[in-house]
């Protein structure tokens, strides 16, 4: 069972709806991944009511690859802090992969707190040459 927007807003995601705590955590992770996919595949300025929603356009930046990677990591961290309240303390790190020169490979780690539990979660991510971000847990 997925966690709906209304359940999140009303705070009535009941553990009784899930057969186990692991099932509840899996539903939360699926919901977070879906939201992050939308967020990280959006460009800043795409939303009139929140012009800060989405990533900056790094194609137009005239910096070294290392500077651009650092800026992108910081931007992703800030987007998570602003727009994914279920995660806290995000850390985004680049992963050097010489076999994928046209892709920006990175991982995201953050704290997921729900109920009385807090777990550190990790997402493996790729910004491909078409500009799309793919996330997996």
The CATH number of whichever domain residue 82 belongs to comes to 3.10.450.40
User: For 37, phi and psi rounded to 5 degrees?
Assistant: -60, -40
Mean pLDDT in the chain?
Answer: 82
pLDDT single digits (tens) 69-127: 888 899 999 999 999 999 999 999 999 888 988 888 999 999 998 878 889 999 999 98
Residues 80, 90 contacting (CB under 8 angstroms): yes
Domain count, the chain: 1
CB atoms within 10 A of CB 33: 15
pLDDT in tens, 48-65: 899 999 998 766 544 556
pLDDT confidence of residue 1: 46
CA distance 13 to 89: 23
**Whether residue 68 has pLDDT greater than 50:** yes
- Taking CA 133 as the corner, what is the angle to CA 115 and CA 76, rounded to the nearest 5 degrees? 60
Domain span at residue 88? Answer: 5-136
Three-class DSSP labels, the chain: CCCCHHHHHHCCCCHHHCCCHHHHHHHHHHHHHHHHHHHHCCECCCCCCCCCCCECCHHHCCCCHHHHHHHHHHHHHHHHHHHCCCEEEEEEEECCCCCCCCCEEEEEEEEEEECCEEEEEEEEEEECCCCCEEEEC
Largest CA distance in the chain: 52
């Amino acid at each position: 069972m997925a966690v709906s927007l209304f359940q999140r807003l009303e705070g009535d995601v009941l553990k009784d709806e899930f057969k186990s705590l692991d099932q509840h955590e899996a539903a939360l992770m699926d919901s977070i991944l879906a939201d992050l996919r939308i967020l990280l595949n959006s460009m800043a300025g795409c939303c009139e009511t929140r012009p800060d929603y989405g990533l900056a356009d790094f194609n137009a930046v005239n910096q070294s690859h290392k500077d651009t990677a650092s800026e992108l990591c910081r931007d992703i961290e800030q987007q998570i802090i602003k727009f994914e309240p279920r995660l806290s303390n995000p850390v985004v790190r680049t992963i050097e992969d010489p076999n994928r020169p046209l892709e920006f490979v990175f991982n995201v780690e953050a704290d997921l707190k729900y109920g009385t539990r807090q777990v550190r979660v990790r997402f493996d991510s790729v910004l491909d040459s078409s500009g799309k971000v793919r996330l997996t847990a």
